[in-house]
Structure 1
Amino acid sequence: MSESLSILLTNDDGIDSVGFRALYDAFEEFADVTAVAPAEDQSAVGRKMSQDVDVTRHELGFAIHGTPADCTVVGLEALCPDVDLVVAGCNKGANLGAYVLGRSGTVSAAVEAAFFDVPAIAVSLYVPGGDDVPWEEKATDTEDFRNATNAATYLAKHGLGAGVFEQAEYLNVNAPMLADDGSLAPLEVTTPSTLYDMTASRDTENGRFTLHDGVWDRMRSGDLPDPEGTDRRAVVEGRVSVSPLTAPHSTEHHESLDALAQTYLDSV
C-alpha cells in the first residue's frame, strides 16, 4: 500500500454499511486510508453539528457517535489532520440536484472539508426503484458499487495533480449501478439539476402533512425535464455524474443591493 496519498474516509450511512466498505477496499489498494465515520446511520442530517461526540475504535479506523460533519471536523482536527483528501461515501442512494446538497450528510461531510481547505469528493450510488425488488434490497454487495468506486479512485488518483481542486472545492459524484454485463459507465462532468418537485399534502383524518419528493417518481418513469449536462440526466441515462462545486455560499457582486445599502440610514 502506497502512502503517497492519504485519505480520510467518511460517510452518512454508517461505518458498517456496504457502500462504505466498497470505497474503503478500493482506496486501500493504493492509499493510506483512515476511516472516520458515523457509528450509526446518519442519512439526510445535512451539516448538523454536535457539541461533543464519543469516539470508539473500529476495525477500519474510528467510529464517531455523531454526524458526518462531526466526522470531518474530528478527523481533520485530531485523528488525521494531514490528509490529502476527504472522501465521503459511498452513499446507497443518489444525491442529485441542487436542492439536496444541503440535506445530504454525504455531501455535507465534503463541504465541511472545504472549510479546512482540504479537497473532497462525495460519492453516491443511484439505486433505481419501481420494480419487483424494493430499492432498499438492492446494492447489497460491494461489487454493485463498482461504477462509483472506479470513478472515485480515478478522480482521487488524478484530480489533485491535474489541478481539479484549484477551481473546485469538492466533487459531487453520482454513479449508476453496475450493468448486468459488468461494463463500466462513462464519466460526464455535469451541473446540479434545478428541478424541484416537493409537495405537502394534508391527511384530513389526522391533520398531519405528508411531504413527498416527486423527482424520484419522475426518475422511475423517465419523465425528466432535466437538460443535457445535468447530474440527474447523466445518471438516469447510465453515466457517472461528476459535478465540480464550491462550498456554500458563493458571493456575487449585486449593484442593486449596494444601492440599497447606501440609502439605508436615509430611510430609517
Structure 2
Amino acid sequence: MMKDEYSILLTNDDGIDAPGLATLRTELTALGNVTVVAPESNQSGVGRTRNPTAIVRDHPWGCALTGTPADCVAYGLRGLDTNIDIVVAGVNNGPNAGNYVVGRSGTVGAGIEAAFLGTPALAISAYHSTDFFISPPEEYDFARPARIARRLVDRALSAGVYDDVDLLNVNAPVDTANPPVMLTDPYHDYEQEVEQASADDVSDDVTLESNEHLVQLRDRTWPGVVGWESPFPPTDEHRRRYPVGTDRRALVDAAVSVSPLSVTHGSPDSAALATIVETVDVA
C-alpha cells in the first residue's frame, strides 16, 4: 500500500491523557490524518477484553471511550465514517515483551482486535535501558519510540509487510541514542505462583464462609525479579537466559524489538488428534 497520506486510528491502554499517546499523535501526523479513539482511563493489562456498551465522549483529537483498547478499536473501525489504513497503539508506558505479556497487554490487544477486523496494526511500547519502568511517565521523553513507530508504519505499509503479517509488536528504548533494530520472536517464559493467603490479606469488607479460603495468584512475569528492579540488566546471565532473536534479549541489549505476529490462531497438524477424531465413538 503506497499512498501520499494515510488515515491512521490511534489508541492506547494508558488513557487518552497519557504523554506517550500525545507524542505519538504528533509524530504520526507527518503521515496523514490521525484520529484518536482511546480509553478515558487507564486500561493496562486488559488484553483484548471487550465490553457490550461504552460511553463515547468527544475529544479535540477524536473521542474517549469508557471502555478497553479493543473497544476503542472496534468503535473506531466500525462506528466512525472513516476508512482506516492502519491502527497504531501506544506509546505504552513500559515494554510488552515475552509471549505471556504480549497476550495480556491492552496495547497489543488493540492491535489484535484491529487484525481480526481486517486492518493492519502496530503496537509500540517504551522502556528505559537502565530504569526499565517508565514511571512516572511525565519524567520521560517518548519522542524516540514515537519516531521509530512512525518510520515503521510508513515503511511497512509501503513495502507490503501486512500482506503476510497481521500485527507488529515493537519495543523501543527511550534513552538510547542509536539503538539497533532487531527482528524478534516473543520469548516463551512464564510461571505462576499460588499460595494460601493469610488472614491479614483478607480485606475488611470480605467475609469468608467456613468452606471458603483465600489464595494469592502471582504470575512470574519476569523470572528472578524482586520488587521494581530491571528484569533485563545487561549481564552475561541474562544474555544466556534470553537467546538472540527474542524480544527479551533485545531489551537486554537496549535494542528496538520488532516482532511480527499472526492472530489467526492457526491449527498445528496432529496425526494423533486426527486418529482420535476419526475413531471416537459418540454412541
Same fold (TM over 0.5): yes
The answer to whether 1:174 aligns with 2:171 is: yes
Give the drift of 1:178: 2.0
- Counterpart CA distance in 1 for 2:162 and 2:85 is 11
Question: Which residue in 1 is equivalent to 2:207?
Answer: none
Aligned to 1:136: 135
Q: Say which of 164, 180, 183 aligns to 1:186.
A: 180
**Alignment CA distance shift 1:30-1:227 (3 Å):** same
Aligned 8 A contact 2:93 2:134 in 1: no
Displacement after TM superposition at 1:259 (Å): 0.8
Partner Cα distance (2:266, 2:6) in 1: 29
CA RMSD of aligned residues (A): 2.3
Unaligned runs of 5+ in 2: 201-213, 226-230
Percent of aligned pairs with the same amino acid: 38
**Can you list the C-alpha shifts for 1:45-64, whole angstroms capped at 9, x where unaligned?**
11111111111111221101
TM-score scaled by length of structure 2: 0.84
Q: Where in structure 1 are there 5+ consecutive unaligned residues? A: none
Deviation at 1:28, TM superposition (A): 1.3
Relative to 1, partners in 2 of residues 1:40 and 1:214: Cα closer, same or farther, differing over 3 Å?
A: closer
SS of alignment partner, residue 79 of structure 2: helix
- Contact 1:197–1:215 (Cα < 8 Å) also in 2: no
**2:190 aligned to which of 187, 196, 203:** 196
For 1:149 and 1:37, locate their aligned partners in 2 and report how far apart those are by CA, in whole Å. 17
- Matched position secondary structure for 1:15: coil
1:44-63 aligned within 5 A:
44-63=45-64
CA distance in 2, matches of 1:200, 1:89: 32
Q: Secondary structure at the match of 2:185?
A: coil
Question: Which residue does 2:260 correspond to in 1?
Answer: 244
Q: Residue deviations 1:3-45, cap 9 Å, x none?
A: 6111000111001001111111110133210001001111101
How many residues matched? 259
What is the CA–CA distance in structure 2 between the aligned matches of 1:215 and 1:197, rounded to whole Å? 9
CA distance in 2, matches of 1:6, 1:135: 29
Residues 81-96 of structure 1: pairs in structure 2 closer than 5 A: 81-96=82-97
CA distance in 2 between partners of 1:214 and 1:116 (Å): 29
Q: Which residue of 1 is the match for residue 106 of structure 2?
A: 105
TM-score by length of 1: 0.88
Q: Residue in 2 aligned with 1:213?
A: 220
* Residue matched to 1:153: 150
Call closer, same or farther: CA 1:130–1:200 in 2, change over 3 Å. farther
Do the aligned residues in 1 keep the contact of 2:89 with 2:111 (CA within 8 Å)?
yes
- Kindly provide the amino acid, as one letter, of the partner of residue 7 in structure 1: I
Q: Which runs of 4+ in 1 moved over 6 A?
A: none
AA matched with 2:76: G
- Give yes or no for contact 2:234–2:253 (8 Å, CA) kept in 1: no
CA distance in 1, matches of 2:174, 2:4: 30
Q: Distance in 2 between matches of 1:67 and 1:187?
A: 30
Structure 1 contact 9–24 (Cα < 8 Å) conserved: yes
Residues 24 and 146 in structure 2, CA contact (< 8 A), matched pair in contact too:
yes
Going from structure 1 to structure 2, the CA distance change for 1:80 and 1:228 (only over 3 Å counts) comes to farther
Query: 1:85-134: per-residue Cα shift (whole Å, max 9, x none)?
Result: 00011110111011112211100100001111110001111246769xx7
State the Cα deviation string for residues 157-206 of structure 1 (Å, max 9, x = none): 11012121111100000111223xxx231211100011224433444444
Counterpart residue type for residue 55 of structure 1? V
Counterpart-to-counterpart distance in 1, 2:161 and 2:38? 25
Contact kept in structure 1, 2:98 and 2:247, CA below 8 Å: yes
Q: Which has the larger radius of gyration?
A: 2
1:256 aligns with 2:250: no
